[in-house]
A = this chain, B = another copy of it.
């Protein structure tokens, strides 16, 4: 630490504080409603959550009924009283007395709107231009940002682009009237002599609806296309453009976009283009260095706005949810340290980097100033920025000291405005917020100005010793396989390589695997790539009844030793298999991409789920393996434990050809039941992956037998066989019911009642409440309905939309689906690919015909490739509950839209089929969410998120009614279905003498 510099920083900070002594940001002013409410929110975490959520939903509350209902739901606690603080300001007359609901609502509405206006320079172009002019008069400069909803369609992206063009036009007219702020020489028509008076910030993701990290190039191009005209206009009017950095997901896209725009032939002459870097990202120092290196190589001056970063909560929650490495700094002081470090780098390179220091933290600001001074960086190479409506004392102090302050000024509609407001409120009320600590909590100045390195050391020292990793039965706790993270380049490059490798090894003959030996048959069936029937994946041998007999005999024999193999050893086989699958995860995924048309992420997560099953069931078996003493009477010892049932026939579907198959097989195997496994015909090659893995994992001969075959030849034979003790099936309702019926007939020499575990179909609905966040609802519905072409039993096939929001939702949804890319699944730019095979294609096409008859087609995407098993993505409206399209499982990309008058109606419609598998609700009404929890009766209900992708352990999966008979896969009740419970009771008293055990209920 440079102690001299450090002293100067603190000194300057103290002066800064002194210069603004007694002032406070208006948001903390308790004389005002906002200040009062903020104060309460900071003291009461529950209220804060409710308040911010209420602010979030607020723009949707257009009717008095809706507003009052939400106020009640969010804020009435046990005592059914809305807190006085919220009602405050409703007029002196009513203060403390009884307030009529109408007045209260009005007050709250206007208070919240005022709160929003605090941070927004205007709600439309005219207001904005006026507001900006006013700020300039006060001596500030600005960068203007157009607020927007999430861009879910290309039309919305166009509109966003046009919005920018509009505001630029409006400002262009005005800017000549504005006097430039004086500087120390330079160009007197420019602010401070060197920077354009007009400065625009833009969120790149808003300019392209299909941006995604797996497709960097496509995303950059998509954004670039719409950014180009904006940038032309910016240059035309001599303005400045800053490309904002959003969530980590878009980081690489944004960096590439910046480089491409900055270095384009047309634009490389123009220096006023900036990019934002976020100090809270661990990779930002590296990014800054790379960017500078690039600038020097290209000999192009660049500009960087450095911020701390506004999505810390989200990034860290996502990382935890997906089992990713933490991308952000864990402790606040670490981000502060990183900010100063990156600022130093940027200042050191001031010859080529123009630096905007965007912070409200007086320590950070002081450090920047002192570093610049110590490096003698010219003042025209850096500036300071703060957010409009926040930290007024800081901006005032900066104006005094530096003279160069730019305010970040959002403008736009109230709906996106509220989202922005919530982020600002969060920032202000966070415990670690510098503004809160400085101006609300009254922290000591010395503490506020402390070197963050010291703060960090203190915080680390005060931190409780981390708990040692919890070990149960000799294993760390179960953890889901990490979601694939396409922001990591090697995750993107691994796929084409794996697909290439798999493609090269495809096309051979796949034998059966019985009793540890490969068995060839004359009868083979080819499996092909559904995107191209000419690409053969494999010729698969077909088991007949003789092979089934052999497999069952092998399994029956293996049972005698496998059931007595210690559970620990059986579990270890699963753990070994999991490890093998992890090592081959890309390759295993690639087989699915080619054989069944899964997209990269879908295939990767299928394999990940298979790994999860192996890891989870291994642990579950160890848990269940411990005999439990029942009762505590002395002289008697009762133990409850479980034993395997016998040979299991596993019949698995093609849609999760690895996960579901290995899930069912491993559950049977780890519980001690040998398996005869019949994969779905069209995914038999992926099915063979199980042979490869279990073989290498060291399963004894006969414990796992791979028997693909024609259902018509050996399907019933297998199910009806007296040697089969249990049948694990996942597939259609029709087949599932047939199996149950066949299995209930006791055959000669059959020694047990067959247990059938059948997971069957769904007709899953998502309800869109009238206060649903459409930014989220639209994208999640698209994903739920059309990811992997809707071929998931969990997929959404009905959307039930509340009447008041019907038109807005449906319009956005249809437009979003209009722009989805359809094509080969192996190309990551495509969102949707072909269905599984020609037979599936025909079924879906038949249903589309029915849809056309029953309802109104809102979208039918015939623009798919001509060859292969493609079907049009179809959305059909005007569907009534009694329609076949509303009742029958389609298993393809066909979505029915239904209208509901009330939330009660919506629930009734949702429950009104024979199925009960998954469901979803998008709502911001606490009572409706609660109602859905109780009354939306499905196996897996998802609130405010997509309704597919259940994770092992976290979302045990499976339904009831006609959707399933078993208990949930990947959950704590699953394995006991594969086991018979036994109790052994020992009378331990002999000759009146019983040893007393420790857990006896004794005297």
Question: A-side interface residues toward B, CB under 8 Å?
Answer: 45, 49, 52-53, 56, 310-311, 313-314, 316-318, 320-321, 326, 330, 419, 422-423, 426, 564, 628, 630-631, 633-636, 638, 640, 643, 645, 737, 740-741, 743-746, 751-753, 755, 758, 773, 914, 916, 924, 929, 933-934, 937-945, 950-951, 953-958, 960-962, 964-965, 967-968, 971-973, 976, 980-987, 989-995, 1001-1003
- Please give the distance in Å from A970's CB to the nearest CB on chain B: 9
- When C-beta atoms are compared, the residue in chain B nearest to A46 turns out to be B995
> Which of A924, A965, A967, A987 neighbours the largest number of chain B CB atoms within 10 Å of its CB?
A987
Q: For residue A934, which residues in chain B have a CB less than 8 angstroms away from its CB?
A: 564
Is the Cβ of A320 less than 8 Å from the Cβ of B634? yes
- When C-beta atoms are compared, the residue in chain B nearest to A760 turns out to be B753
Is the Cβ of B635 less than 8 Å from the Cβ of A986? no
Q: A938-B982, A976-B973 in contact; A991/B423 too (CB < 8 A)? A: yes
- Please give the distance in Å from A119's CB to the nearest CB on chain B: 14
Is the Cβ of A954 less than 8 Å from the Cβ of B636? yes
Q: For residue A631, which residues in chain B have a CB less than 8 angstroms away from its CB?
A: 951, 953-955
Contact residue among B317, B320, B971, B976 (Cβ-Cβ distance under 8 Å from A640): B971
Is the Cβ of A987 less than 8 Å from the Cβ of B753? no
Q: For residue A743, which residues in chain B have a CB less than 8 angstroms away from its CB?
A: 744
- When C-beta atoms are compared, the residue in chain B nearest to A421 turns out to be B991
Is the Cβ of B638 less than 8 Å from the Cβ of A955? yes
Is the Cβ of B752 less than 8 Å from the Cβ of A962? yes
Cα A233 to Cα B630 with chains together (Å): 53
Cα A643 to Cα B938 with chains together (Å): 10
Cα A310 to Cα B992 with chains together (Å): 9
- When C-beta atoms are compared, the residue in chain B nearest to A326 turns out to be B1003
Is the Cβ of B737 less than 8 Å from the Cβ of A985? no
Is the Cβ of A321 less than 8 Å from the Cβ of B636? yes
Q: For residue A972, which residues in chain B have a CB less than 8 angstroms away from its CB?
A: 628, 640
Cα A243 to Cα B98 with chains together (Å): 90
Q: For residue A634, which residues in chain B have a CB less than 8 angstroms away from its CB?
A: 316-317, 320-321
State the oligomeric state as a number of copies.
2
Is the Cβ of B956 less than 8 Å from the Cβ of A980? no
- When C-beta atoms are compared, the residue in chain B nearest to A737 turns out to be B746
Q: For residue A992, which residues in chain B have a CB less than 8 angstroms away from its CB?
A: 310-311, 313-314, 423, 426
Q: A635-B321, A643-B937, A939-B980 in contact; A991/B956 too (CB < 8 A)? A: no
Is the Cβ of B961 less than 8 Å from the Cβ of A914? no
Is the Cβ of B990 less than 8 Å from the Cβ of A330? no
Q: For residue A326, which residues in chain B have a CB less than 8 angstroms away from its CB?
A: 1003
13 CB-based A-B contacts, threshold 8 Å: A56-B990, A56-B991, A313-B994, A316-B1003, A423-B991, A638-B955, A773-B990, A942-B984, A943-B985, A944-B990, A956-B981, A956-B983, A973-B976
- Please give the distance in Å from A710's CB to the nearest CB on chain B: 24
Q: A740-B744, A941-B985, A956-B640 in contact; A317/B994 too (CB < 8 A)? A: yes
Is the Cβ of A940 less than 8 Å from the Cβ of B983? yes
> Which of A326, A741, A773, A986 neighbours the largest number of chain B CB atoms within 10 Å of its CB?
A986
Q: Nearest 8 pairs between A and B by C-beta?
A: A631-B954, A314-B992, A317-B635, A945-B987, A960-B980, A744-B744, A943-B986, A741-B744
Is the Cβ of B45 less than 8 Å from the Cβ of A995? yes
Cα A924 to Cα B988 with chains together (Å): 11
- Please give the distance in Å from A376's CB to the nearest CB on chain B: 40
- When C-beta atoms are compared, the residue in chain B nearest to A773 turns out to be B990
Contact residue among B49, B314, B962, B1003 (Cβ-Cβ distance under 8 Å from A753): B962
- Please give the distance in Å from A619's CB to the nearest CB on chain B: 14
Q: For residue A940, which residues in chain B have a CB less than 8 angstroms away from its CB?
A: 982-985
Q: A740-B744, A992-B311, A1001-B320 in contact; A751/B961 too (CB < 8 A)? A: yes
> Which of A326, A929, A951, A993 neighbours the largest number of chain B CB atoms within 10 Å of its CB?
A993
Q: For residue A744, which residues in chain B have a CB less than 8 angstroms away from its CB?
A: 737, 740-741, 743-744
- When C-beta atoms are compared, the residue in chain B nearest to A741 turns out to be B744
Is the Cβ of A630 less than 8 Å from the Cβ of B956? yes
Cα A1002 to Cα B743 with chains together (Å): 47
- Please give the distance in Å from A550's CB to the nearest CB on chain B: 24
Q: A320-B1002, A634-B317 in contact; A967/B943 too (CB < 8 A)? A: no
Is the Cβ of A752 less than 8 Å from the Cβ of B961? yes
Is the Cβ of A960 less than 8 Å from the Cβ of B746? no
- When C-beta atoms are compared, the residue in chain B nearest to A987 turns out to be B945
Q: For residue A49, which residues in chain B have a CB less than 8 angstroms away from its CB?
A: 995
Is the Cβ of B986 less than 8 Å from the Cβ of A929? yes
Q: For residue A426, which residues in chain B have a CB less than 8 angstroms away from its CB?
A: 992-993
Cα A726 to Cα B693 with chains together (Å): 40
Cα A924 to Cα B987 with chains together (Å): 11
Q: For residue A330, which residues in chain B have a CB less than 8 angstroms away from its CB?
A: 1003
Cα A118 to Cα B968 with chains together (Å): 65
Is the Cβ of A740 less than 8 Å from the Cβ of B753? yes
Q: For residue A985, which residues in chain B have a CB less than 8 angstroms away from its CB?
A: 940-943, 945, 950, 954-955
Cα A968 to Cα B643 with chains together (Å): 13
Is the Cβ of B635 less than 8 Å from the Cβ of A939? no
Q: For residue A973, which residues in chain B have a CB less than 8 angstroms away from its CB?
A: 976, 981
Is the Cβ of A987 less than 8 Å from the Cβ of B939? no
Cα A960 to Cα B995 with chains together (Å): 32
Cα A848 to Cα B820 with chains together (Å): 78
Cα A77 to Cα B992 with chains together (Å): 25
- Please give the distance in Å from A626's CB to the nearest CB on chain B: 13
Cα A755 to Cα B954 with chains together (Å): 26
- When C-beta atoms are compared, the residue in chain B nearest to A55 turns out to be B991
- When C-beta atoms are compared, the residue in chain B nearest to A919 turns out to be B984
Q: A954-B638, A993-B426 in contact; A987/B942 too (CB < 8 A)? A: yes
Is the Cβ of A984 less than 8 Å from the Cβ of B953? no
- When C-beta atoms are compared, the residue in chain B nearest to A315 turns out to be B992
Cα A635 to Cα B940 with chains together (Å): 18
Contact residue among B423, B635, B943, B994 (Cβ-Cβ distance under 8 Å from A987): B943
Cα A316 to Cα B994 with chains together (Å): 10
Is the Cβ of B960 less than 8 Å from the Cβ of A983? no
Cα A537 to Cα B406 with chains together (Å): 98
Is the Cβ of A989 less than 8 Å from the Cβ of B423? no
- Please give the distance in Å from A405's CB to the nearest CB on chain B: 27
Q: For residue A929, which residues in chain B have a CB less than 8 angstroms away from its CB?
A: 986
